[in-house]
């Protein structure tokens, strides 16, 4: 089954390109550490998922590129083509000239409707190229105007036109100290709208990835390219082919569907966080060895303590003892920083994956009480190593990971809204105070739900 990637705005296009780069270089690499047959299956599954067969010599990414100004798309198209190992379909893009001005209302209410037909035609074309459409993967930032506003509109249209397809939105959470002054407004509007049409929101926070670049990757002068490459690696570690059952005979054919099934049992809970370890500079890879027990132990504690990377984990945080507290949704017995999960997915890639003991992730005390722990945890595996890492593991978690960031953004946006600052910029394009209030209400509801997990 194939996934159509939709790259929205500057951020979406820049990241999208890095994702395809990473996937391609992983597949072409000779570091599979597995049998030739395995490697071939992996290669074929990946190709089918992300690339289409065309008359050209290089695989063509299954993607639609959308932006309201031309510079980034032009750059994206030409850089990909220059790589020589893959490229985009140069007709599969839409851009305008004037940009969205960081204005969600402009993206959603003006550009969206105006260009709906052309954009959805491109989606349709890509969908038709797939033997079986597995769903849409959209990449966007929340802070700007195009990715956020037009992205929300496009997601809605995708839901309308493809009612039975899965839609996963990959969202970039902006730096806390700002890239865009109205980023909190744009974020609130985006999240509340996406919650209605998307199946799940997979989040990457710029602050977190920046820290990984600084501390794990030892990059002195961090650029957006560095940040995007880490993000691409983490996304690749989730979406490259895996086996979903213990004795699976073929690579999963429905990655997005499987993801939704395992992680999103309830429509009120759609926020997914992602952790991937180990992560280090490429030239250190050769000198490092890891054991699965060590990796799993770290990953589990990262989940419990809501740590962003494998350094600086707070090992004091423990899950509460089951049976010793009154079961209630407003549990005051749980330690304050314990991160409660709704559902978790661990992905293992590389050497000796079948020997890994994941019992610690099945511990019921990690999870909220209203789901059967058997259903709350799943594991996907492949012996095929990913992106030169002999062993690599990822955790996709539907938990309280994003509760604090969400609360922060809503708080700051509300604070600004109370003074009515910048509202005239939105009403100019048809988003009224009421629309803001609706969005705030929807998100407070989500915050409340996650708080009471």
Partner 1 sequence: RVSLPFAVGQCGNQVGCRFWELALREHAAVNQKGVYDEALSSFFRNVDTRSGGDGTDISKGKICSLKARALLIDMEEGVVNEILQGPLRDVFDSKQLITDVSGSGNNWAVGHKLYGCQYRENIVEKLRKTAEHCDCLQCFFIIHSMGGGTGSGLGTFVLNLLEDEFPEVYRFVTSVYPSGEDDVITSPYNSVLAMKELNEHADCVLPIENESLFDIVNKIHQMINSGKLGSTVKQTSLLTSSAGSAKIAQEKPFDAMNNIVANLLLNLTSSARFEGSLNMDLNEISMNLVPFPHLHYLVSSLTPLYTLADVNVPPRRLDQMFSDAFSRDHQLIQADPKHSLYLACALLVRGNVQLSDLRRNIERLKPSLHFVSWNQEGWKTGLCSVPPVGHSHSLLALANNTCVKPTFIKLKERFMKLYKKKAHLHHYLHIDGMEQNCFSEAISSLSDLIEEYSELDATKGGPRTDPGRLKITV
243: nearest Cα among 395, 360, 348, 376? 348
Instruction: Work out the end-to-end distance of the chain between its first and last CA atoms, rounded to an integer number of angstroms.
Output: 34
- Comparing CB distances to partner 1, the nearer of 29 and 430 is 430
| Dihedral pair phi/psi, residue 221, rounded to 5° | -115, 95
Out of 83, 129, 176, 363, the only residue in the binding site for partner 1 (CB under 8 A) is: 176
- Comparing CB distances to partner 1, the nearer of 291 and 448 is 448
Alpha-carbon distance of 200 to 261, in angstroms, equals 11
Alpha-carbon distance of 81 to 65, in angstroms, equals 14
**Looking only at residues 108 through 167 of this chain, which bind partner 1 when binding is defined by CB under 8 A?**
145
Our finding on whether 425 is near partner 1 (CB under 8 A) is yes
| Strands (DSSP E) found in 261-419 | 271-277, 341-350, 377-382, 391-399
Out of 3, 150, 227, 299, the only residue in the binding site for partner 1 (CB under 8 A) is: 227
- Comparing CB distances to partner 1, the nearer of 245 and 421 is 421
Other Cβ atoms within 10 Å of 379 Cβ, number:
21
Residue 3 vs residues 69, 109, 160: alpha-carbon distances, Å: 25, 27, 18
Out of 81, 118, 322, 421, the only residue in the binding site for partner 1 (CB under 8 A) is: 421
Out of 103, 190, 242, 341, the only residue in the binding site for partner 1 (CB under 8 A) is: 103
- Comparing CB distances to partner 1, the nearer of 284 and 329 is 329
78: nearest Cα among 68, 70, 66, 90? 90
- Kind plus residue range of the DSSP H or E element containing 6: strand 2-8
- Segment near partner 1 (CB under 8 A); pick from 21-29, 161-169, 308-316, 418-426: 418-426
Our finding on whether 197 is near partner 1 (CB under 8 A) is no
Residue 25 burial class via C-beta count within 10 angstroms: exposed 0-12, middle 13-18, buried 19 and up: middle
Residues 6+ apart with CB under 8 A from 44: none
Out of 37, 323, 419, 434, the only residue in the binding site for partner 1 (CB under 8 A) is: 419
Q: Say which residue the tokens 């996937």 belong to.
A: 23
As measured in angstroms, the least distance from the Cβ of 180 to partner 1 is: 6
As measured in angstroms, the least distance from the Cβ of 332 to partner 1 is: 16
Our finding on whether 181 is near partner 1 (CB under 8 A) is yes
Alpha-carbon distance of 350 to 81, in angstroms, equals 30
Out of 2, 52, 102, 397, the only residue in the binding site for partner 1 (CB under 8 A) is: 102
Give the sheet arrangement for strand 2-8, strand by strand. 93-95, 63-67, 2-8, 133-141, 167-173, 200-205, 271-277, 391-399, 341-350, 377-382
Our finding on whether 452 is near partner 1 (CB under 8 A) is yes
Our finding on whether 332 is near partner 1 (CB under 8 A) is no
Our finding on whether 412 is near partner 1 (CB under 8 A) is yes
- Segment near partner 1 (CB under 8 A); pick from 58-66, 91-99, 234-242, 391-399: 91-99
- Segment near partner 1 (CB under 8 A); pick from 152-160, 261-269, 310-318, 422-430: 422-430
- Segment near partner 1 (CB under 8 A); pick from 33-41, 224-232, 242-250, 374-382: 224-232
Q: Say which residue the tokens 């082919």 belong to.
A: 241
- Comparing CB distances to partner 1, the nearer of 31 and 210 is 210
- Segment near partner 1 (CB under 8 A); pick from 170-178, 337-345, 363-371, 387-395: 170-178
- Comparing CB distances to partner 1, the nearer of 177 and 283 is 177
- What sign does the CA torsion over 82, 84, 86, 88 have? positive
As measured in angstroms, the least distance from the Cβ of 24 to partner 1 is: 22
**Interacting residues with partner 1 (CB under 8 A):** 10, 14, 69-72, 75, 96-103, 145, 175-182, 210, 213-214, 219-225, 227, 410-412, 414-416, 418-422, 424-425, 440-441, 444-445, 448, 452
């Amino acid at each position: 089954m194939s996934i159509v990637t939709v790259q929205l705005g500057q951020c979406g296009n820049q990241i999208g390109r890095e994702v395809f780069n990473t996937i391609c270089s992983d597949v072409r690499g000779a570091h599979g550490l597995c049998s030739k047959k395995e490697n071939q299956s992996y290669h074929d599954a990946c190709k089918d998922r992300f690339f289409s067969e065309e008359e050209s010599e290089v695989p063509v990414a299954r993607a639609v590129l959308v932006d309201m100004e031309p510079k980034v798309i032009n750059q994206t198209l030409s850089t990909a083509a220059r790589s020589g190992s893959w490229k985009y379909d140069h007709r599969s893009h839409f851009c305008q000239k004037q940009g969205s001005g960081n204005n969600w209302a402009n993206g959603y209410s003006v550009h969206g409707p105006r260009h709906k037909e052309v954009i959805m035609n491109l989606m349709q074309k890509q969908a038709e190229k797939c033997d079986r459409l597995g769903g849409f993967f959209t990449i966007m930032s929340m802070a700007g105007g195009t990715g956020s506003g037009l992205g929300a509109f496009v997601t809605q249209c995708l839901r309308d036109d493809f009612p039975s397809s899965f839609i996963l939105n990959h969202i970039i959470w902006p730096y806390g100290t700002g890239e865009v002054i109205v980023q909190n407004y744009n974020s609130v509007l985006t999240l509340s709208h996406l919650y209605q049409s998307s199946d799940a929101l997979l989040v990457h926070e710029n602050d977190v990835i920046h820290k990984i670049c600084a501390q794990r990757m030892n990059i002195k002068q961090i650029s957006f390219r560095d940040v995007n490459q880490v993000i691409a690696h983490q996304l690749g570690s989730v979406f490259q082919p895996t086996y979903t059952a213990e004795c699976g005979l073929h690579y999963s054919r429905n990655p997005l569907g499987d993801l939704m099934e395992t992680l999103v049992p309830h429509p009120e809970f759609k926020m997914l966080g992602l952790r991937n370890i180990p992560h280090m500079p490429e030239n250190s890879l050769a000198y490092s060895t890891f054991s699965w027990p060590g990796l799993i132990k770290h990953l589990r504690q990262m989940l419990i303590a809501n740590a962003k990377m494998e350094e600086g984990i707070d090992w004091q945080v423990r899950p509460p003892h089951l049976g010793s507290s009154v079961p209630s949704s407003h549990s005051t017995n749980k330690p304050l920083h314990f991160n409660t999960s709704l559902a978790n997915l661990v992905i293992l890639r590389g050497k000796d994956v079948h020997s890994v003991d994941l019992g610690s992730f099945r511990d019921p005390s990690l999870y909220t009480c209203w789901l059967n722990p058997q259903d709350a945890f799943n594991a996907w595996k492949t012996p095929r190593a990913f992106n030169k890492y002999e062993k690599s593991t990822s955790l996709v978690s539907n938990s309280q990971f994003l509760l604090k960031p969400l609360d922060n953004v809503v708080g700051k946006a509300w604070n600004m809204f109370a003074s009515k600052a910048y509202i005239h910029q939105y009403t100019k394009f048809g988003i009224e105070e009421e629309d803001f209030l609706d969005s705030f209400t929807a998100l407070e509801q989500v915050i409340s739900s996650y708080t009471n997990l």
